[in-house]
Amino acid sequence: MTDILKVPPRAPAAEHAPPRPVWTVLLAGLGALLGSLDVVVVSTALPALRADFGASLADLEWTINGYNLVFAGLTLTGAALGDRFGRRRMYVVGLAVFTLASAASALSGGPGQLIAARMAQGAGAAVLLPLTLTLISDAFPAEKRGVAIGMWGGVTGLGVAAGPVLGGAVTEGLSWQWIFWLNVPLGLVMIPLSVLKLRESHGPRPQLDLVGLLLAAVSLAGLAWAPMRAPEAGWGSAEVTGALAVGAVFLAAFLGWERSGARYPMLPLGYFRRRGFATANGAIFLQLFSLLGALFMISQLFQTGLGNSPLEAGVRILVWTGMPLLVAPVAGTLADRFGNRPFMLGGLLLQVIGYALMAWQVEPGVGYGSLIVPLIISGVGISMVFPTAANAVTSSVPPADAGVAAGVNMALRELGGVFGIAVAAAVFARYGGYGSAEAFVDGCGPALWISAGAAAAGALVAAFAPSRDGR
C-alpha cells in the first residue's frame, strides 16, 4: 500500500515548464465560474422547479444543498488529490465529472434524480474549485497574486452576475433543463485546453493521508447534514442532533490524527495559529453564511413576493450580483498595496448595511426602487471580500501548501453557505410561507436580518486580521 501511495516520478519538463499566467487565470476563472454559476442559476429556477415537479421547500433546499453537502465534504479530498496526483490532471478530472453531472441534471425526471445529479456535480466541483486557486498561486509570485486572484474573482463574479439573468432568460424562454445543458459545451472545450495550457504541479507530501481524508469527509458531511435537515426535522430532532454529534466526534478525531497520528498530515494544524489563515477562513465562512442565505430569499422575493417573471427577477438582481465583475479585480489589485484586512472588514460592513436596509424595506407593496441601493451596497461588499479572503488564506502559508489552504477555504465557504440557507429557510418558515405574496414577504424580512447579523459577525472576525500577509 505504501508503494502505491508514493508519488510517481515526475517529468522535469512538466514540473518546471514556464507558467502561462493569462491562460491560467482564464481557465481557472472559468472553472470557478462553472461552480458559482450553477448555484445562482438554480436559485433563480426554484419557482419553476416547484411548479414543474410539485417540489416542496425541502426539495428546493436540496437542489442547492445537495450540491453543497458533497462539495463541503469532499473539498479537502479534492485539494489533496491534486497535490498527490497533479493539480492539472485532477483539475481535468473535476471538469469531466462536473460536465457529465450537468448532463444528468438536465435529463432528470423528478426531484430525486435532480438532487442525485446535483450531488455528482458537487463531487466534480470539490475537485475543480479548490484547484482554481492552487493553479493561480503556482503561476504567479506572491507580490502579484492579489491582482491575479482579483481577476479570478472578477471572472467568478461574471458567473454570479450572469446567473440570475441567464437563469431567468433560459427558464422563461426555454426550460429549466437548459441551465444545465449550457455547462456541457463549455466543459468539453475547457478539458483539452486545460491539458494543453496549464502547468502541472504537485504538493510536498509523498503520500495521501487516507485516514485524514476519511475523517474530514465524514466530519464535514455530518456538520453540513444537520443544518440541511433542521428546517424539516427540527433542530432538536434526533436526526439533526445526531448528525451534529457525528460531525463533532469525527472532527475531534481528525484533529487528533492530524496532530499526532499522521505521517504526512493533510492539514498542518499550526496554520490555524497564524492570524492571516484563521481570520480569513472565519470571515469567509460567515460571509457565505450571510450571502447564500440572502440569495436563497432574494431570488424568490422578486418572483413569489413581488410577482416578477424569472427573467425580470434576474435583470433586477443584476445590480447586486453584477458588482463582483466590476469591483473584485480592483479590490484584489489594491490589496497587494494596502493589505487584505481593510477590504475584508469594509466589505463585510457594507454587507451588514445592505442586508439590514433590505430587511427594513421589505414589506407588502415594496417597490423595486427601494431595494436598488441596498442591493448595490451589499454587492460591492461581497466583491471586496471574495478575492481578498482567498488571497489572505493562500498568502499565509508556504507556496507549496497553497492547495491545502485553498481546500480549507473552499470547504468553509460551502459549509457556511449550507448553514446560511438552512437558517434562512428555518426563519422564513417560522414567520412566513408560500401561501401568498404577503406571507412570503412576512418571512423574508426576518431571514434577511439573519444575513445581516452573520455579516456583522464576519466583520468582527476580519477586524483581527493582520494588516499584511500572515506568514
Contact 63, 49 (CB under 8 A): yes
Contact 471, 397 (CB under 8 A): yes
Pick the closest to residue 150 from 323, 335, 17 (CA basis): 335
Q: Check: pTM over 0.85? Answer yes or no.
A: no
Sequence-separated (6 or more) residues with CB below 8 Å from residue 199: 14, 17, 18, 19, 20, 24, 88, 135, 138, 139
What residue type is 33 in one-letter code? L
Task: Give the pLDDT score at 162.
Answer: 65
Instruction: Establish how many alpha carbons lie within 13 A of residue 24's alpha carbon, considering only the half-sphere containing its beta carbon.
Output: 23
Instruction: Establish how many alpha carbons lie within 13 A of residue 266's alpha carbon, considering only the half-sphere containing its beta carbon.
Output: 27
| C-alpha span between 250 and 273 (Å, rounded) | 21
Instruction: Establish how many alpha carbons lie within 13 A of residue 319's alpha carbon, considering only the half-sphere containing its beta carbon.
Output: 15
Contact 46, 60 (CB under 8 A): yes
**461: three-class secondary structure by DSSP:** helix
| C-alpha span between 184 and 101 (Å, rounded) | 9
**Three-state SS across 252-299?**
HHHHHHHHHHCCCCCCCHHHHHCHHHHHHHHHHHHHHHHHHHHHHHHH
Write out residues in the chain with pLDDT < 70, as ranges: 1-18, 39-40, 43-44, 55-58, 142-143, 156-165, 167-168, 172-173, 310, 468-471
End-to-end CA distance of the chain: 35
The burial of 213, by beta-carbon neighbours within 10 Å (0-12 exposed, 13-18 middle, 19 or more buried), is given as middle
Task: Give the pLDDT score at 101.
Answer: 94
Other beta carbons within 10 Å of 385 = 34
Task: Give the pLDDT score at 161.
Answer: 59
| C-alpha span between 422 and 414 (Å, rounded) | 12
Residues making up the chain, counted from first to last: 471
| C-alpha span between 413 and 464 (Å, rounded) | 19
Task: Give the pLDDT score at 157.
Answer: 65
Q: Which three cell numbers stand for residue 8?
A: 510517481
Q: Which three cell numbers stand for residue 80?
A: 489533496
Q: Which three cell numbers stand for residue 158?
A: 461574471
What residue type is 184 in one-letter code? V
**460: three-class secondary structure by DSSP:** helix
Pick the closest to residue 420 from 276, 284, 221, 232 (CA basis): 284
CA distances from 328 to 136, 267, 335, 385, 399 (A): 16, 28, 10, 8, 23
Contact 303, 309 (CB under 8 A): yes
Task: Give the pLDDT score at 2.
Answer: 38
